[in-house]
Amino acid sequence: MGNPLASHRERHERLSVPIGLAVFASDALSSTAYATEEILIALFASGLSIQMGMTLIQASAFNGILALPIAAIIIILMFVVVMSYREVIMAHPNGGGSYEVAKTRLGRTASQIAGSALLIDYVLTVSVSISSGVANIVSTGWFPKGHNIAFSVVMIMIIMLLNLRGLKESGKAFAVPAFFFIISMVAMIGTGIFKVMTGQVESVPEIAVVGQQVSTIAPLVLIAVLLRAFSHGCAALTGIEAVSNGVQAFKEPAEVNASRTMVYMGLVLAVIFLGVTYLAYALPGIVPPELDPHHETVISQIAASVFSHGSIFYLTVQFVTAIILILAANTSFNGFPRLGMILAQDGYLPRQLMNLGDRLVYSNGIVILSFFAMLLIIIYKADYNAMIPLYAIGVFLSFTLAQWGMIRHHKAEQKPGWQRRATINMIGAVLTGVVTIILAVEKFTEGAWIVLVAMPIIIFVFRQICHHYESIGKQLALPEDGYCPLAIEHTVLVLISSLHRGTIPALEYAKTISDRVEAVHVELNPAGTERVKRAWEDWGCGIPLTILKSPYRSISEPLLEYIDEVEDRYEHDLVTIIVPEFVTKSWWHNLLHNQTSIMIKTLLRYRSNKVVTTVRYHLDE
C-alpha cells in the first residue's frame, strides 16, 4: 500500500498531539453522539413520567432534569478514568493499557481477561460504529436503502486500506472530519445555550408540581432507575482507553504526548457530553428516537431546535455525526494491532502479529480486525441495535481491572500522594465495576451472554498458544554442556518419474553428498516404466534403480513404505530424499504440469529423520 518505508523512518511516522487526538479520540467522540440519548432511553423506559401522568413535553423536561445530575456523575467518573489512564501511560510507556497494568499488578489470569475483553471490544467498536454510521447516512436519503451490509463492508475496506498506507497518512486523512465534528458540536451547543439564555426558543414547561410526585416513588425503584440510566450513559466513556494502548504511536517523548492527548480528549468529551445533555433538558420536546414523530436521534432533534430543519447548519451536524460514527472505527484500527503485537510478544497470540509491514504498521493485525468486523456485520446483517448489547461490557471490565491494578501500583510504589491517588482509583473501580455488572445482567438475554462466553474461549486459546510456544522453546533450547556437530552417514533416494535433463543435476547433487545413492521410480504405467529402465541403462552411471509397484496407482503409499524400509535396513539416523523439479519461465505454465513434488514434500514434512531436498532445473522457454 505505497512505497516501503525504512525501519529508521518509524519515529518520523509517529503522531503529534493534534493528529493523535483525532486518531485515538474518534471512538470516544462518537460516544458523545448517543450517550445522552442512552440516558433518556433508560429514563423513558422506566415509565416514571407515565406513572405521574405527564404529557410528552413534561416528560421530556422531567427526564432531562434527571439526566443532568447523571451526566455530571458520569463526567466525574470520566475524570477519574482519564486521570487513572494518565498514570497508566506514565507507568507503562510502551503501551498495553489495561492489559499491561493487569499483567504487572494483578497476575496472568487478570491480564488475559483484560486482553480478551479489549480484543472483543475493538472488533465490536468497528462493527457497531460502521453499521450505525451507515444507517445514519442511509436515513438521510443520500444513499439507497437495503444495501447497508455492502456499504458497511466497503467502509471497512476503505478504512483498512487507509491504515495499511501508514499511521501518519491515515491520521491526516481522519483529522479533518474529527476536528470538524468537534467544531460543529461546540458551535451547536454554544448557539443553543445562547438561544436558551436569550429566550429565542420555547421555554421549558413548568414541572415543579409534577416533580413533587417523585417523593411518592419507592426509593429502591428510583435508585434502580437512576442506576440503569447511569450505566446506559456510561457509553460516553467508551474509547477513552485507546490512547493508553497506543502510547508508542506518539512522537517522543511518547508518554508525555500521550498523557496530554488523554487530558485534551477528556476535556472535549466533557464539554460535548454535558452541553448536549443540558440542551436535551433546556430545549422542549427532546425525546428518544422511537417517541419522536420523525424518529430522529437526540442530536438531530437538538440540531433541528437550534438551527431549524433543512438549514445548512442542521445538515452539517447530521453529516458530521454520521461521519464521526464511521471514523470511530479508526480508533480500533490503531488499538487492536498494537494490543495484538503486545499479546504476541507475551506468547498469547501468533508471532506474525509482531511483524511491521512495509508501511511501518502492524498489517496483520489490521487485516485480522477487518476480517472479524466484516464477519460480524454479515452475521448481524449490519443491524447495530442487535450488536449494541455485546458492546461496552468488555471496555468497562478492562476499566475496572485497570483501576484495581493502579491501586496495587500506588501501594507498591508509595510515591508522594499515593493514598489520594489510590482512593480515586478505588472510587473509579467500584463505579466501573457496578456498571459492568449492570450491563452484564441487564443485557444478558439480549446478547451479552455471547461476550461472556467468548472471553473464556479466547483465554483458553491464549493459554494453548502460550503452552505451544513454551514447549517449542524448551525443545529448541541448546544443551547446557555444549555440542560439536558431527558428520552423519545417510542414504540418498532420488525420485525419478522419467529420465530427462532435469533429472541429471539431481543425480549429480546426490553423488556429491553421499556414497550411498539410489534412484526410486514408482510404477504407475508399465510402458512408462520400461522406457525409464531402457534410458537408465545409458544414463544411470551405476546408480541402482528401484522400481516400486503400485497396484492402486498411488505414489505416496509405496514410496513412504520404501523410505521406512531403507531407514530400517541401514539403521542410521537420516534418509535424504531428493526431488528433481523443472521450473517453467511463466507462472501459469505450472498449471499445465503435475505438482507431484509439492505433494511428496508435504507428506514427508511430518516424518522425523527425513530430509527433503528439491533440485531445480530452470527452463529457458
pLDDT at 213: 54
Q: Are 245 and 399 in contact (CB under 8 A)?
A: no
Indicate the range of 200-209, 275-284, 370-379 predicted with least confidence.
200-209
Indicate the range of 18-22, 265-269, 530-534, 595-599 predicted with least confidence.
595-599
Mean pLDDT of 404-417: 89
Nearest-5° Cα angle at 120, 452 to 172? 160
Cell 498411488 belongs to which residue?
554
Q: Which is more confident, 359 or 68? A: 68
Q: Which three cell numbers stand for residue 591?
A: 498449471
pLDDT at 17: 87
Q: Are 67 and 59 in contact (CB under 8 A)?
A: no
Q: Tens digits of per-residue pLDDT, 317-353? A: 878 888 888 888 888 888 899 899 999 999 999 999 9
Q: Which three cell numbers stand for residue 70?
A: 447523571
H or E stretch including 548?
A: strand 545-549
Rounded to an integer, what is the distance from CA 469 to the centroid of its chain? 22
Range among 21-35, 360-374, 381-395 rated most confident: 360-374
pLDDT at 320: 85
Strand order in the sheet with 517-523: 545-549, 517-523, 490-495, 574-583, 610-618
Compute the distance between CA of residue 384 and CA of residue 382 in angstroms, rounded to an integer. 6
Residue 435, pLDDT above cutoff 60: yes
Q: Are 171 and 18 in contact (CB under 8 A)?
A: no
Q: Which is more confident, 150 or 50? A: 150
Compute the distance between CA of residue 366 and CA of residue 364 in angstroms, rounded to an integer. 5
For the chain, percent of residues with pLDDT exceeding 70: 91
Q: Which three cell numbers stand for residue 583?
A: 521450473
β-pairing, 545-549 vs 574-583, is unpaired
Q: How confident is the model at residue 160 (pLDDT cuts 50, 70, 90)?
A: very high
Q: Which is more confident, 386 or 307? A: 307
Q: How confident is the model at residue 167 (pLDDT cuts 50, 70, 90)?
A: low
Helices (H) and strands (E) in the chain, counts: 23, 5
Q: Tens digits of per-residue pLDDT, 241-296? A: 888 887 888 888 888 999 999 999 999 999 999 999 999 888 888 888 777 666 77
Smallest Cα–Cα separation from 493: which of 545, 570, 532?
Answer: 545
3-state SS, residue 361: coil
Nearest-5° Cα angle at 433, 428 to 436? 130
pLDDT at 443: 79
Going through 436-557 in order, the beta strands assigned E by DSSP cover 490-495, 517-523, 545-549
Residue 311, pLDDT above cutoff 70: yes
Q: Tens digits of per-residue pLDDT, 394-406? A: 888 988 999 899 8
Mean pLDDT of 576-602: 82
Sign of the Cα torsion 53, 57, 59, 61 reads negative
Compute the distance between CA of residue 101 and CA of residue 404 in angstroms, rounded to an integer. 9
SS3 labels along 82-143: HHHHHHHHHHCCCCCHHHHHHHHHCCHHHHHHHHHHHHHHHHHHHHHHHHHHHHHHHHCCCC
pLDDT at 556: 84
pLDDT at 139: 66
Q: Tens digits of per-residue pLDDT, 450-489? A: 888 999 999 999 999 999 999 999 988 887 777 777 778 8
What single DSSP character describes residue 295?
A: -
Q: How confident is the model at residue 210 (pLDDT cuts 50, 70, 90)?
A: very low
Compute the distance between CA of residue 162 and CA of residue 363 in angstroms, rounded to an integer. 11
β-pairing, 517-523 vs 490-495, is parallel
Average pLDDT, the chain: 84
Residues 6+ apart with CB under 8 A from 378: 149, 153
Q: Tens digits of per-residue pLDDT, 172-181? A: 677 888 888 8
Q: How confident is the model at residue 153 (pLDDT cuts 50, 70, 90)?
A: very high
Q: Are 73 and 230 in contact (CB under 8 A)?
A: yes
Q: How confident is the model at residue 621 (pLDDT cuts 50, 70, 90)?
A: low
Residues recorded for the chain = 621
pLDDT at 492: 92
Q: How confident is the model at residue 141 (pLDDT cuts 50, 70, 90)?
A: low
Smallest Cα–Cα separation from 450: which of 459, 442, 440?
Answer: 440
Compute the distance between CA of residue 55 and CA of residue 303 in angstroms, rounded to an integer. 23
Burial tier of 520 (Cβ tally within 10 Å: 0-12, 13-18, 19+): buried
What single DSSP character describes residue 584?
A: -
- The CA distances from residue 432 to 112, 216, 401, 610, in Å, are 19, 30, 9, 58
Residue 313, pLDDT above cutoff 90: no
What single DSSP character describes residue 592?
A: G
Compute the distance between CA of residue 428 and CA of residue 432 in angstroms, rounded to an integer. 6
Q: How confident is the model at residue 44 (pLDDT cuts 50, 70, 90)?
A: confident
Q: Are 448 and 389 in contact (CB under 8 A)?
A: yes
Mean pLDDT of 565-593: 82
Burial tier of 178 (Cβ tally within 10 Å: 0-12, 13-18, 19+): buried
Q: Say what the pTM is.
A: 0.79
Query: Concatenated DSSP letters for 183-239?
Result: HHHHHHHHHHHHHHHTT-SPPPPP-HHHHGGGGGS-HHHHHHHHHHHHHHHGGGGTT
Backbone torsions φ then ψ of 52, nearest 5 degrees: -95, 10
Q: Tens digits of per-residue pLDDT, 523-575? A: 988 888 899 898 888 888 889 999 999 887 788 888 888 988 888 887 767 88
Residues 6+ apart with CB under 8 A from 590: 584
Compute the distance between CA of residue 331 and CA of residue 126 in angstroms, rounded to an integer. 9
H or E stretch including 491?
A: strand 490-495
pLDDT at 442: 79
Mean pLDDT of 414-431: 87
pLDDT at 204: 61
